[in-house]
């Protein structure tokens, strides 16, 4: 039965609509295929190409006409020749076709270094397998980023594990979620032991409260914080001090999830700071206050006394003859003696009294809120009595004493500088009056203190102004009265104080260090004078020059002397350096080295003031000594005091036995001279023969010398 015209029209319209729908569907599918960022390939169950998008051809660099040739082997060759491992690629495809329902996601690696992510999805029509949809995405850059990220994370981890600083992360409750090796090492725990532990468990309750408050503040404000001093208790119970920077830890959305911190071990730094604070305020040798802290305490005491009308006394203590002990027995011995002295002085004081070591062998004491100055007298007497008892140091029994100066606020001074200055002046008066005693400050002492300051300041310019000069005291043969030589004696023609003997300024020169330059001037001047005598035709005589301890120890002494002898053309055999026993007892090896160098030049040595120092006679055997000089203190009463006579006899006998010359100093009477002659002491000097002479007067002595002048020079 033929269809009606209307039916045909309806069918035509229906077919047209279906065609339009199909075209629309195809258009949508094509649009979908082309709009995706992935390369799409659709194949049937036999692997023949059904469809693909342009992205696929671009990714694989395959001309679209080759892909369209569905049976063309060139297509598969284009694919395989680009791959690093084509065999694995083919094997994987076979596996997928063997199981058409399985999905697959893997990577394909190209020879040129590109990497594709391949996704394969089964294609079904009417419930049956109809092929596969292949999706390809170029993940080369993502791989590089991931690799770089992995390397960065690895590097970050390595850095964290190897830095000295500790790094940790905790959750909002303070429980550890991550820590680096430094944290574990620092706390003496393993990572497993720390993981999950609360960071407030390994510190004191006070520190736990502090860190809790700080973490809360960081959580509330989001502002990082620095914890300056945080004490951690290690697994073994010991403690360390940390300095930490803490900040909020957030997730990807910005939500707070915990805290992260970087910590630095500042234990040694804190100890160093405490040590520096100690050194800035305390004497490292004795543990007493130092000058700075004593001045601070004294300043506050004076302020309180001013408000309360109180009385403050300051005692200035200086050990007697400590320098000799220190130089003779060594600085280590001297340090132990100072420690023992500090303990004894401290035992004489109340807990409220303040004691300090200003430096060297000087101590100060502050007595605050005392009823009267008599309290200071009581303390001074106790200290003097305590120091009279012998002190045992390194199996040596040392007898020492002290000189104490006392000053009182408000009577003697209105400020701390005045008090310390006055106490120092009173101490010097105590030394002048026999040592081992105390003296109160009096206004007259200021004059002496001013003189000392004047000498100290003008001493520095005395050489430039040519204020020094040498006198020469003859040394004679007692039997014949003949001239043997001269001792060069230094004088200072001070513009304000007149002619000064060495004992007025040499101690100050040694304290200030100017003694080196002065000593060099003395040597050069004496040698120059000797050369002038020889040039004038006089026979050679000895020239004795005193050398201070500091000058003798100076490293350049041998070179300086060699230069002076060369400049002045003096015969070194006639130069005799006078040294004290104390100078020879310090650093024996160094002394031996210096003496050997000087002896090699031809220079001779004398021990000045023999018998008055702290020494052992063994040095006479060790060192190349030529002359022993008997001190004037023994010569003074040698004719009337049996003890002095015995000492002089022993020294002369000792010198004779050791084949040394013996010279007596300070001979002023015929009785002294006769005694010395009776003991076969042939050489002497003193006012009996001549006082120290000016250079011109010394020339006159040379003219009158028993030996006739010789023409020519040495």
State both tokens at 287: 């543990």
Of residues 145 and 225, more confidence is placed in 225
Q: How does DSSP classify residue 317?
A: E
Would residue 459 count as lying in a domain? no
Packing angle of the helix pair 515-535, 557-568 (nearest 10 deg): 30
Q: Which of 7-21, 497-511, 670-684 has the lowest mean pLDDT?
A: 7-21
3-state secondary structure of 398: strand
Cis peptide before 548 (omega within 30 of 0): no
Alpha-carbon separation of residue 598 from 134, 547, 569, 624, 629 (angstroms): 103, 13, 16, 10, 20
Would residue 90 count as lying in a domain? yes
Q: How does DSSP classify residue 122?
A: E
Over pLDDT 90: what percentage of the chain? 41
Q: Using one digit for the tens of pLDDT, what is the confidence trace for 370-381?
A: 888 889 999 999
Would residue 194 count as lying in a domain? yes
Choosing from 215, 247, 271, the residue where a domain stops is: 271
Question: Is 60 exceeded by the pLDDT of residue 345?
Answer: yes
Alpha-carbon separation of residue 470 from 135, 145, 488, 629 (angstroms): 113, 91, 6, 20
pLDDT at 295: 94
Question: Is 60 exceeded by the pLDDT of residue 22?
Answer: no
**525/634 same-domain check:** yes
Choosing from 428, 443, 458, the residue where a domain stops is: 443
Model confidence at 21, pLDDT cuts 50, 70, 90, reads: low
Sheet arrangement for strand 166-171: 176-179, 166-171, 256-265, 239-250, 225-233
pLDDT at 711: 40
Of residues 582 and 405, more confidence is placed in 405
Question: Is 60 exceeded by the pLDDT of residue 707?
Answer: no
Model confidence at 709, pLDDT cuts 50, 70, 90, reads: very low
Give the number of domains in the chain. Answer: 5
Q: Using one digit for the tens of pLDDT, what is the confidence trace for 607-644?
A: 987 866 555 567 787 889 999 999 998 999 998 999 99
Would residue 27 count as lying in a domain? yes
Q: Read off the pLDDT of each residue in 543-561 and give the average, rounded to a whole number.
A: 90
Question: Is 80 exceeded by the pLDDT of residue 548?
Answer: yes
**542/655 same-domain check:** yes
CATH number at residue 80: 3.30.450.20
pLDDT at 706: 46
Question: Is 50 exceeded by the pLDDT of residue 495?
Answer: yes
Vertex 440: Cα angle to 370 and 294 (nearest 5):
55
**483/583 same-domain check:** yes
**How far is it, in rounded angstroms, from Cα 378 to Cα 269?**
45
Q: Read off the pLDDT of each residue in 112-120 and give the average, rounded to a whole number.
A: 88
**532/672 same-domain check:** yes
Q: Using one digit for the tens of pLDDT, what is the confidence trace for 52-104?
A: 888 888 888 888 777 766 555 777 788 888 899 989 888 888 888 888 888 88
Question: Is 70 exceeded by the pLDDT of residue 712?
Answer: no
How many residues are there in the chain? 714
CATH number at residue 375: 3.30.70.270
Model confidence at 28, pLDDT cuts 50, 70, 90, reads: low
Q: Is 7 exposed, middle or buried (0-12, 13-18, 19+ CB in 10 A)?
A: exposed
Of residues 340 and 163, more confidence is placed in 340
**413/481 same-domain check:** no
**98/225 same-domain check:** no
Contact 661, 626 (CB under 8 A): yes
Of 699, 693, 691, 700, whose CA–CA distance to 532 is shortest? 699
Q: Highest mean pLDDT range out of 178-192, 259-273, 350-364?
A: 350-364
**Average pLDDT for the chain:** 85
Alpha-carbon separation of residue 141 from 112, 114, 334, 450, 558 (angstroms): 13, 8, 78, 89, 80
Q: Using one digit for the tens of pLDDT, what is the confidence trace for 151-187?
A: 766 776 777 767 778 888 899 998 999 888 888 888 8
**How far is it, in rounded angstroms, from Cα 683 to Cα 687?**
14
What residues contact 559, with CB distance under 8 A and at least 6 apart? none
**522/403 same-domain check:** no
Model confidence at 288, pLDDT cuts 50, 70, 90, reads: very high
Of 245, 427, 225, whose CA–CA distance to 320 is shortest? 427
Vertex 263: Cα angle to 260 and 267 (nearest 5):
160
Contact 314, 365 (CB under 8 A): yes
Would residue 154 count as lying in a domain? no
Choosing from 105, 138, 171, the residue where a domain stops is: 138
**288/234 same-domain check:** no
Question: Is 90 exceeded by the pLDDT of residue 9?
Answer: no
Model confidence at 713, pLDDT cuts 50, 70, 90, reads: very low
State both tokens at 430: 């105590």
**Strands (DSSP E) found in 91-163:** 104-109, 115-125, 128-138
Would residue 454 count as lying in a domain? no
- Residue range of the domain that includes 410: 282-443
**How far is it, in rounded angstroms, from Cα 661 to Cα 655?**
6
Q: Read off the pLDDT of each residue in 433-447 and give the average, rounded to a whole number.
A: 79
Q: Read off the pLDDT of each residue in 270-282 and give the average, rounded to a whole number.
A: 85
**362/250 same-domain check:** no
CATH number at residue 625: 3.20.20.450
Estimate to the nearest angstrom the gap between the alpha carbon of 200 and the chain centroid: 36
Would residue 389 count as lying in a domain? yes
Q: Read off the pLDDT of each residue in 654-668 and give the average, rounded to a whole number.
A: 93
**How far is it, in rounded angstroms, from Cα 676 to Cα 668?**
12
Of residues 23 and 388, more confidence is placed in 388
pLDDT at 30: 53
**549/634 same-domain check:** yes
Model confidence at 710, pLDDT cuts 50, 70, 90, reads: very low
**265/287 same-domain check:** no
**62/120 same-domain check:** yes
**How far is it, in rounded angstroms, from Cα 42 to Cα 710?**
134
Of 518, 619, 531, whose CA–CA distance to 567 is shortest? 531
**How far is it, in rounded angstroms, from Cα 291 to Cα 363?**
9
Q: How does DSSP classify residue 573?
A: G
Question: Is 80 exceeded by the pLDDT of residue 389?
Answer: yes
pLDDT at 271: 86
Would residue 25 count as lying in a domain? yes
């Amino acid at each position: 039965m033929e269809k009606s015209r209307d039916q045909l029209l309806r069918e035509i319209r229906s077919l047209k609509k279906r065609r339009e729908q199909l075209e629309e569907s195809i258009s949508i599918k094509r649009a979908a295929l082309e709009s995706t960022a992935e390369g799409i390939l659709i194949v049937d169950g036999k692997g023949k190409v059904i469809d693909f998008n342009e992205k696929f051809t671009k990714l694989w660099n395959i001309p679209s006409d080759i892909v369209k040739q569905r049976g063309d082997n060139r297509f598969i060759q284009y694919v395989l020749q680009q791959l690093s491992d084509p065999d694995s690629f083919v094997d994987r495809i076979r596996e997928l076709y063997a199981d058409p329902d399985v999905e697959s996601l893997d990577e394909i690696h190209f020879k040129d270094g590109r990497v594709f992510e391949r996704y394969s999805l089964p294609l079904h029509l009417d419930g049956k397998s109809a092929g596969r949809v292949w999706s390809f995405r170029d993940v080369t850059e993502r791989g590089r980023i991931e690799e770089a990220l992995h390397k960065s994370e690895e590097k970050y981890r390595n850095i964290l594990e190897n830095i000295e600083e500790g790094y940790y992360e905790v959750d909002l409750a303070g429980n550890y979620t991550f820590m680096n090796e430094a944290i574990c090492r620092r706390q003496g725990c393993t990572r497993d032991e720390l993981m999950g532990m609360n960071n407030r468990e390994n510190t004191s309750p006070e520190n736990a409260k502090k860190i809790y408050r700080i973490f809360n503040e960081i959580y509330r404000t989001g502002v990082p914080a620095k914890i300056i001093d945080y004490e951690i208790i290690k697994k073994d119970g010991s403690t360390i001090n940390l300095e930490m920077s803490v900040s909020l830890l957030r997730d990807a959305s910005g939500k707070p999830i915990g805290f992260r911190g970087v910590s630095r071990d500042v234990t040694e730094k804190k100890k160093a700071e405490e040590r520096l604070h100690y050194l800035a305020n305390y004497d490292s040798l004795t543990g007493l206050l130092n000058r700075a802290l004593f001045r601070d305490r004294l300043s506050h005491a004076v302020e309180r006394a001013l408000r309360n009308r109180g009385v403050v006394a300051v005692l200035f203590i200086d050990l007697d003859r400590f320098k000799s002990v220190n130089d003779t027995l060594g600085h280590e011995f001297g340090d132990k003696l100072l420690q023992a002295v500090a303990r004894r002085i401290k035992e004489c004081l109340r807990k409220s009294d303040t004691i300090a070591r200003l430096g060297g062998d000087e101590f100060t004491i502050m007595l605050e809120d005392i009823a009267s100055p008599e309290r200071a007298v009581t303390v001074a007497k106790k200290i003097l009595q305590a120091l009279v008892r012998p002190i045992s140091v390194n199996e040596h029994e040392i007898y020492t004493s002290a000189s104490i100066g006392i000053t009182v606020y408000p009577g003697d001074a209105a400020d701390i500088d005045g008090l310390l200055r006055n106490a120092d002046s009173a101490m010097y008066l105590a030394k002048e009056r026999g040592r081992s005693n105390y003296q109160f400050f009096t206004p007259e002492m200021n004059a002496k203190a001013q003189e000392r300051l004047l000498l100290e300041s003008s001493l520095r310019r005395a050489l430039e102004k040519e204020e020094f000069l040498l006198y020469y005291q003859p040394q004679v043969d007692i039997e014949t009265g003949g001239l043997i030589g001269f001792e060069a004696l230094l004088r200072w023609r001070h513009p304000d104080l007149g002619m000064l003997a060495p004992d007025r300024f040499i101690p100050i020169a040694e304290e200030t260090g100017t003694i080196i330059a002065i000593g060099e001037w003395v040597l050069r001047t004496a040698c120059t004078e000797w050369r002038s005598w020889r040039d004038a035709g006089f026979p050679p005589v000895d020239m004795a020059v005193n050398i201070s301890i500091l000058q003798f120890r100076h490293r350049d002494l041998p070179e300086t002397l060699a230069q002076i002898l060369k400049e002045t053309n003096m015969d070194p055999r006639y130069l005799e350096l006078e040294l004290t026993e104390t100078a020879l007892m310090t650093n024996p090896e160094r002394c031996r080295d210096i003496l050997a160098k000087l002896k090699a030049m031809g220079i001779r040595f004398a021990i000045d003031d023999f018998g008055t120092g702290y020494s052992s006679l063994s040095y006479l055997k060790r060192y190349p000594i030529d002359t022993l000089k008997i001190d004037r203190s023994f010569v003074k009463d040698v004719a009337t005091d049996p003890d002095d006579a015995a000492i002089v006899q022993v020294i002369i006998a000792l010198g004779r036995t050791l084949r040394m010359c013996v010279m007596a100093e300070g001979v002023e009477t015929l009785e002294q001279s006769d005694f010395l002659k009776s003991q076969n002491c042939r050489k002497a000097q003193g006012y009996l023969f001549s006082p120290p002479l000016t250079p011109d007067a010394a020339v006159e002595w040379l003219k009158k010398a028993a030996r006739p002048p010789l023409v020519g020079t040495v």
